[in-house]
Chains A and B, each alone.
Chain A
Amino acid sequence: MKKLSIIFVLMVVFALALSACATPTAAPTQAPVTQETAGGDAPVIAQPKGEILIGNLQDESGGMKALSSALTYAATMKIEEVNAAGGINGRTLKLVTYDTRSDVNEAINALRRMVEQDKVPVVLGPPIANIGIAVAPIAEELKVPIVGLFMDDKCTIQENGEPWTYMFLAQDSATYQGLTMAAYAIQELGVKKVAILYNSSNSYSVGLATPFEEAILKSGGEIVAKETYTGTDKDFRAQLTKIKSANPDVIYFPSYPVEIPLIYTQAYELGIKVPMLGSNSVPPTGLAPSTDPAATTNTFYPYGINPSDPVLVDWAAAYKAKFNSPALAQSFSGADAFGIILQAIEACGDDITSVCITEKLNTMESYKGFQGTVKLSPDTHQPIGLPLAIMTIKDGAPEFVTWYTPEGPAK
């Protein structure tokens, strides 16, 4: 009996430990509203008059709030700007935000609610690949387009190679970013022996690590260590010690913001001195005050924008003044995602329907945004060849190095 009760307690503890990986469900941040629809049984979401509602599927209170809120803030700024200028075709815009808390089930429910109850004809999607993958078939079922920053190829491309009809990516994909970093490592840093440390339970991290590894191997390089971690890990010393013993020329760690300062710090503490190649989740303001600048003296990571561009600096200042939060890479690319949505809505004129917006997204020639001229490929629903800014960190502050693509330096 005693043993049984101990095992019962262990089971509860095990369940508690596992629950640490999950996030609780959330209520919508805004009460659903009813809008006129085209009526009938047709799966067309239409907004013939009144405010134009745009869905916003973001993590507003979960572990990815920092990145996800960047899109909400960017969209809010854009909406205020457009509404102040009289709206689109005389109609003002309204954002209908639902909180996903980074939970895929909550995201699916939220998407259904915003489409079926609020009748939004288009949705601004999250910067979270796991959620992008989960909602792709739901968007297909609901026939409502989602434009977001979900970087994994599986968010926009089906297994058969065809694009998901209603999923659109507004920044470079994980594959493109992984290939670009591999090209930079090989061509500019001259590396041969590479170590990879990535989150095996995260689509974003896997989506970046896989093409990077393939490109390194294809170029004749060697993967001398490939270590993984899971989402709740805080101590990476075991993996980094193993990596150090493999004596790599460079370490690639495509990680989320919560892990990045810890990996830099722990690698530094273990005396690892080789270049550290990161992902676009490093904040544009750098890693201070949480990370010792000495830990980030030899690092490179990709960005969709050059944060020192004067135009972006001004926008970032206005953003910070408004939200008391520094503009992230996702703020700029999120503004572009929302801008693409608005351009498609504007092109639809009075025909504000999910069908028309999808069609305009598919046929959009280009959109001029913070990331440059974004052209969405009809074959992948991803931007075509946007160069990436390679960034480094000097004395704790980010610094632009060069523009790069998977083929080499950007022309």
Chain B
Amino acid sequence: MQFSIILQQVVNGLSLGAVYALIAVGFALIFNVLKFSNFAHGGVLGISAYAGYIAANQFKLPLIPVILVGMVTGAILAVLVELIAFRWIRLQKGQLVYFFVTSVTMLMLLEQVLIIRFGASFESYPYTLVKVRVLQFGDVTISVTYLLSLISTIIAFSGLIYVLKKTKIGIAIRAASNDLTATSLMGINVNMVIIAAFIVSGMLGGLSGVLYGISASLSPQIGQIVVKGFIASVLGGLGSLTGVAVAAVVLGVLEVFLISTIGSGLSPVVIFLLMVVFLLVRPHGFAGVSFSDKA
């Protein structure tokens, strides 16, 4: 295989991995705080993607406002999901498996909302939203929409790390991720901390929904891409946001090389098998913290 082709496949993989990283970090953030896998994140992503689509298609807004619409929608929706679906379970000190089941239910519910509103067919963002579609570097081309995902991932991830390390709310989120009860005893309003985590997670979900919607197309099942975020989160170690981001990029590259070698049909099978084997060997992922309970 020519070097330029290998390089192009690496770029393809990095581009795809960047999208997965955005999804995975938002997903892992909630796991860090509440210790459960929040599949409702996919539903938030899906509805935000459609909100961005309406902003672009009906209100003819340019790219940046469209992204903002997606992020605001994501934040609001994520908070609503927390208030409606998760808070009551938390107050009842419900088992983690209840959170997990509820999150899957919320994903399906939000999908159904999209089916009712838009039907099961597909929609597309107008191509004019991204004026320059591709950048050429010798024989290698980079899709601008995927490049946007990569840049957004870097900015969002850097911002998130800054918030978590340098701000009071970030420190509170980190404290809550260690021990919710102890954080509460320290006089921190845990509910507000959790809401803040859902806002950030929802914004990331909205951002990834819009960017993925632009580079692919929209269907009510778009939120099921969260499975890729979940895989990356588990491989990276759900306790480590850096590990999750790295794993997402590795997953993107791996997926592209598997598709180009063994084909699209076998690729997900191999990825899931690798994941199972990897977790048997290293259950806390690349860089994660080992939790006594996961759901």
Contact = CB atoms under 8 A, between A and B. Distances in A.
A224 to B, nearest CB: 14
A16 B265 contact: no
A274 to B, nearest CB: 15
Contacts of A227: 263
Interface in A1-34: 2-3, 5-7, 9-10, 12-14, 16-17, 20, 23
Contacts of A237: 12, 15-16, 143, 256
Interface residues of A, number: 54
Contact of B37 (A9, A201, A234, A295): A9
B235 to A, nearest CB: 11
Contacts of B39: 16
Contacts of B183: none
A299 interface: no
Given A228-B265, A239-B259, A292-B127, A5 B294 contact: yes
B219 A241 contact: no
B122 A6 contact: no
B102 interface: no
B279 interface: yes
A63 B219 CA distance: 9
Contacts of A228: 263-265
A393 B37 CA distance: 46
A63 B217 CA distance: 13
B73 to A, nearest CB: 21
Contact of A61 (B37, B115, B272, B294): B115
A14 B260 contact: no
B1 interface: yes
B128 interface: yes
Interface stretch (A42-50, A257-265, A375-383): A257-265
A5 B263 CA distance: 31
Contacts of B83: none
Contact of A238 (B128, B259, B279): B259
Given A228-B264, A239-B260, A2 B292 contact: yes
Nearest to B263: A228
B127 A258 contact: no
A290 B124 contact: yes
Contacts of A101: 120
A265 B231 CA distance: 28
A23 B256 contact: no
B283 A61 contact: no
Contact of B125 (A14, A230, A290): A290
A39 to B, nearest CB: 40
A236 to B, nearest CB: 9
Interface string B258-278: 011001110010001001100
What size tier do the contact residues of chain B reach? Answer: 35 or more
A40 interface: no
Contacts of A14: 272
Q: Which of B2, B8, B255, B265 has the most CB of A within 10 A?
A: B8
A270 interface: yes
A268 B8 CA distance: 14
Contact of B264 (A16, A20, A239, A290): A239
A63 B115 CA distance: 10
Interface string A223-258: 000011110111101110110110000000000011
A297 interface: no
A289 interface: yes
A271 interface: yes
Given A23-B120, A261-B217, A262-B216, A245 B2 contact: yes
A215 interface: no
B120 A9 contact: no
With most chain B CB atoms within 10 A of its CB, the pick from A17, A268, A295 is A17
A61 B217 contact: no
A270 B265 contact: no
B1 A245 contact: yes
B216 to A, nearest CB: 4
B127 A289 contact: yes
A313 B89 CA distance: 59
Contacts of A63: 120-122, 219
Given A245-B5, A258-B122, 8 more contacts: A5-B294, A65-B119, A101-B120, A232-B221, A271-B141, A290-B125, A291-B124, A292-B133
27 contacts: A2-B283, A2-B294, A13-B227, A13-B231, A17-B224, A20-B221, A61-B119, A63-B219, A101-B120, A228-B264, A232-B221, A233-B264, A235-B12, A239-B260, A241-B9, A244-B8, A245-B5, A258-B122, A258-B217, A258-B219, A265-B133, A269-B141, A269-B143, A270-B141, A271-B136, A288-B127, A289-B128
